[in-house]
Structure 1
Amino acid sequence: MTTGSHRFGIGIPENWTEYDLHGDTLAERRAEMLRHAPRKETRDAVNQAFRSARRIMDGARRRGAVYAAGTTTMYEDGLLMAGLMIFSVSPPAGADFSARGLAREFSAAGGHRREGTSRTLTTQTLPGVGPVGRMAGIEETEIADGVSSRLVVTHTFVPVPGGERVLVITCFSPNIPLAEPLYDLFDAITSTFAFGDAEPKAQAEAQAEAEAVVEGGA
């Protein structure tokens, strides 16, 4: 994957799918799940989940998304839906490019906080990058014009080396009751992010942790 002249990589669990941003992969995955959903209530849940996913993808593409991946997996206890998108954006002129500075900048740029939104600002260290800013919490997010949903989210802000752009790694899920294991999962996946073509050892270790969270979180 590339942004400008810089290549980057990120590891996702084996049961996640990389999506093209026009939604063709989503349609294939939806058809596959419906073939294995004998009950009407299950089919309704699958259809609703994929309608929401398609709205999210359409909105993300308009906002500068350069990468998308996710999972829609049926477990005995219900449907787990989670996703990741990477956006390439330009901060305002003169923005503070420090870890906390970028997180504050984008937090302020979000404008009025919707009712039901609760986020925490922290600084994290990505093994392949260094210190980065992160916002995490529950967001009331507009996923399409006039359509909003409550999501578990993390936004991680990664400066592109030698440039004026920032990559925003956004992980999200509507499975609010699973918030705590989802934060662990999102942290594990985001920790695999690195610029360049090589996959450092830290990526493989974080990938294994992400898969363990997926297996135990639902």
Structure 2
Amino acid sequence: MSATTTGVPSWFTLRVPQSWFEFDVWRATRTGDLARLVDARIADVPQLRPQRPALLTLLREIAERAERQGAVYCAATAELVDGSDGLVASVMVFHTDGAPNAADNTVEAIAGQVTAVASTDRRSPWRTVTIVEMPVGRAVRVRGVERAEPDGVSIDSVVMQTLIPVPGDRGVLNVVLSSPHVDIADELFDLFDAVSDTLAWSRDRPDQLSVTNSSP
């Protein structure tokens, strides 16, 4: 996001748990930032050293996907545990100009543009659409299990989107959290709620993408 109008936000802040990696999307795909982040974490947690290659590969894949999709912010966690699936999750934030008519960028209008999907069985994708009250204002919250088929392989993911009109008619922000661990969807939605609700508006873009990096 960028803005020049006095008195309206030009950026946002978001807090993620301390175990997550925050990074600049552009730099993550062009410099050694991710390697330095991983090495710094290994210095604090030496037990992660054997997992360095897998951890770095996963973070690079997330960073590349964030760049392809046009994210303005990205953070991820990859808690790789021997003998288990561990925990993999990411948050990406997108900013769009929204509809030309400001009336189409209200939470009611946005909610009306998203289709809810009822689950036909326990394994099928589903989606709910609600309007929620957040510290930064009203927003549209979309929860569900989404299915993608990259290379013809079906992959289900827990996904939560929070669409928030930016004050001053400056478009719409979409905070998207996702994880492949559909077996713990309820617990993930609790975490995703907590992260999304830390969103705050800022008049100036911080030197780092997030002012703080503490557990929500």
3-state SS in 2 of match to 1:96: helix
Residue number among 131, 141, 146 corresponding to 1:134 in the alignment: 141
Amino acid at match of 2:125: T
Q: Residues 140 and 148 of structure 1 are in contact (CA less than 8 Å); yes or no, is this contact kept in structure 2?
A: yes
Q: Is structure 2 residue 167 aligned with structure 1 residue 167?
A: no
Q: CA distance change for structure 1 residues 63 and 161 in 2, over 3 Å: closer, same or farther? A: same
If each structure's helix is expressed as a fraction of its own residues, which one has the higher value?
1
Q: Is structure 2 residue 86 aligned with structure 1 residue 62?
A: no
Structure (1 or 2) with the larger CA radius of gyration: 2
Distance in 1 separating the partners of 2:99 and 2:22: 30
Equivalent residue, structure 2, for 1:187: 193
Structure 1 window deviating more from structure 2 (23-32 vs 64-73): it is: 23-32
Distance in 2 separating the partners of 1:159 and 1:179: 27
Q: Residues 145 and 158 of structure 2 are in contact (CA less than 8 Å); yes or no, is this contact kept in structure 1?
A: yes
Q: Residues 139 and 164 of structure 2 are in contact (CA less than 8 Å); yes or no, is this contact kept in structure 1?
A: yes
Distance in 1 separating the partners of 2:168 and 2:34: 35
Aligned length: 184
Equivalent residue, structure 1, for 2:100: 93
Q: Residues 162 and 176 of structure 2 are in contact (CA less than 8 Å); yes or no, is this contact kept in structure 1?
A: yes
Residue number among 130, 137, 140 corresponding to 1:122 in the alignment: 130
Using CA pairs below 8 Å that are at least 6 residues apart, which structure has the higher relative contact order? 2
Q: CA distance change for structure 1 residues 135 and 152 in 2, over 3 Å: closer, same or farther? A: same
Q: Is structure 2 residue 166 aligned with structure 1 residue 156?
A: no
1:125 CA drift (Å): 1.4
Distance in 2 separating the partners of 1:176 and 1:8: 29
Residue number among 13, 16, 19 corresponding to 1:12 in the alignment: 16
Q: Residues 70 and 82 of structure 1 are in contact (CA less than 8 Å); yes or no, is this contact kept in structure 2?
A: yes
Please report the RMSD computed on the Cα atoms of aligned residues, expressed in angstroms.
3.2
Amino acid at match of 2:60: R
1:154 CA drift (Å): 0.4
Distance in 1 separating the partners of 2:148 and 2:67: 16
Runs of 5+ consecutive residues of structure 2 not aligned to the other structure: 4-9, 116-122, 205-213
Runs of 5+ consecutive residues of structure 1 not aligned to the other structure: 109-114, 199-206, 211-218
1:171 CA drift (Å): 0.5
Q: Residues 81 and 173 of structure 1 are in contact (CA less than 8 Å); yes or no, is this contact kept in structure 2?
A: yes
1:50 CA drift (Å): 5.7
Q: CA distance change for structure 1 residues 52 and 119 in 2, over 3 Å: closer, same or farther? A: farther
Q: Residues 100 and 122 of structure 1 are in contact (CA less than 8 Å); yes or no, is this contact kept in structure 2?
A: no
Amino acid at match of 2:2: G
Q: Residues 99 and 105 of structure 2 are in contact (CA less than 8 Å); yes or no, is this contact kept in structure 1?
A: no
Equivalent residue, structure 2, for 1:111: none
Distance in 1 separating the partners of 2:23 and 2:151: 22
Amino acid at match of 2:186: E
If each structure's strand is expressed as a fraction of its own residues, which one has the higher value?
1
